[in-house]
Amino acid sequence: MIMKGVVLYKTNGPLVVEELEIPSLQDGQVLVKILFSGVCRAQINEIKAHKGPDKYLPHTLGHEASGIVEETGPGVKKVKKGDYVVLTWIKGEGIDAPSCTYTTHKDKKKINSGAITTFNQYSVISENRIVKIPKEVPPDIAALFGCAVPTGVGIVKNELKAKKGESLAIFGIGGIGSCVLLGAVSAGVSPIIAVDINSDKLEFAKENGATHTVNPKEMDIKDVVAKIKEITNNEGVDYSVDCAGIPLMIEAAFDAIKDTGTTIIAGNPAYGEKIRITPFDLIKGKKIFGSWGGSVKPDKDIPLFIQDYLSGKLKVDKLITKTYSLDKINDAIKSLGKGKVIRALIKMDYARSTIDK
Ligand SMILES: [Zn+2]
C-alpha cells in the first residue's frame, strides 16, 4: 500500500511530502489510518537537532494523533480493526514493537520511523502507544490527547497534585502551557498566573481562566518574580511550571515559588544548556524536577481526561487555533515556531469532524 507521508531528510529541513510504501506488520504493530495529527514543539526541536546530531535521518515525524485501526499485526490484543484510537508517544500497556521502516515509492529509499509517527496518512504504530477512545470525541480534539493534554493535565493532576485554592505560575503559554492552564482551572487552582512574551497568548490565557498575566518583555526578569510574589502576598506561588524551555525562565520559575513550593520543567531547553539556582533554596525545602509526559499512564489517564472533556470540565476545544493540510506541513511548523498558533493540527484530506457510531 502507498500513502503520503512527511520526511525529514536533513537537519533544519524543509520537510518533504513523499509517497511512501507501507511494510507488512510485525509482532505488536498496528496499522492506523490517521485522521488528525497535532504538531508539537518537540518536532521543531527534532528538525533543528536541538538534542544533538540526528542519527536517524531520513525519518518520519509526529507523536500525537487520532485515527482508525486498519489492521493489527501478530500478538496485538488491545485493539481491533475499526477501533477509534488516540496515538501517543507516551508508553502504555501492550507490546513494545520494533520501529518500522518505510520505503519511498519513487526511488526505494529507506525512511526510518519511530514506535509512533503521525505526519502520514497511515502509520505503523507500536501497540503500547495506542489507546481506544469513545466516538463522542471529535477527531480533531482527540488528537490533542496524544501529547499536549496528557502532559499538561498530568503535570497538574499527577505530578503537582494541585488542589483547589493553591497557586500556580505557568511560564510559556504554548500547547503544553495551555493544557497546564486548563488542567489547573479544572482542579480549582487559584490564583493562576500566566507568563509569556506574546500578548496574544496572554490574552488567550486570560480568556481561559488565568487570573493574572505577566509579560517579561515589559520588565526585567527580576521584576517578573517580584510581580508574582506581589500577587501572592509576598510568599511566592505553591507551584510553577516552565513550558518555555528557556534557562532564564526556569530560574525565574524557581525563584517565584514559596519555600515549600515545587517547580516542574516541562519545556525543552537545547541540549547542553544550564540553569543556575541557589542551593540554599533547596535546603529550605523548595523542589524542582522535570516532567516526562506528566507521569501519565496512558491506558488509565487518557480515558479519565477524556471524561473530564466530555463532561465540560476540561475545555480542550479552546486549544485548536489552526488546522493545515498535510501538504502545508512546513507552514504549520513555521507558524508554531513563530508562536502564532497555540497548537497546530494537521487534517488528513479524507478526515471528517465526527466519527460514525
Ligand atoms: Zn509533543
Residues carrying CATH 3.90.180.10, the chain = 2-132+316-347
The whole-number pLDDT of residue 321 equals: 75
* Ligand 1: centre distance to CA 354 (Å): 24
Single-letter code of the amino acid located at 88: T
The whole-number pLDDT of residue 270 equals: 82
Residue 14: how many other CB atoms lie within 10 Å: 12
The whole-number pLDDT of residue 60 equals: 98
Query: What are the tens digits of pLDDT across the range 284-332?
Result: 999 999 998 899 999 999 999 999 999 999 999 888 779 999 999 999 9
* Ligand 1: centre distance to CA 285 (Å): 31
* Ligand 1: centre distance to CA 293 (Å): 9
Q: Average pLDDT in the 121-133 region?
A: 98
Instruction: Tell me which CATH homologous superfamily contains domain 151-295.
Output: NAD(P)-binding Rossmann-like Domain (3.40.50.720)
Task: Give the long-range contacts of residues 207-216, CB within 8 A, separation 24 or more.
Answer: 207/318, 208/178, 208/181, 208/182, 208/315, 208/318, 209/181, 209/182, 209/184, 209/185, 210/170, 210/181, 216/249, 216/252
pTM to 2 decimals?
0.92
Residues carrying CATH 3.40.50.720, the chain = 151-295
CATH 3.90.180.10, domain 2-132+316-347, yes or no: yes
* Ligand 1: centre distance to CA 31 (Å): 21
The whole-number pLDDT of residue 51 equals: 82
Query: What are the tens digits of pLDDT across the range 145-203?
Result: 999 999 999 999 999 999 999 999 999 999 899 999 999 999 999 999 999 999 999 99
* Ligand 1: centre distance to CA 175 (Å): 8
Please list, in sequence order, all residues whose beta carbon lies within 8 angstroms of the beta carbon of residue 17, skipping any fewer than 6 positions away.
4, 5, 6, 7, 326, 327, 329
Asked if the model's pLDDT at residue 94 lies above 80, the reply is yes
Cα–Cα nearest to 172, from 243, 240, 227: 243
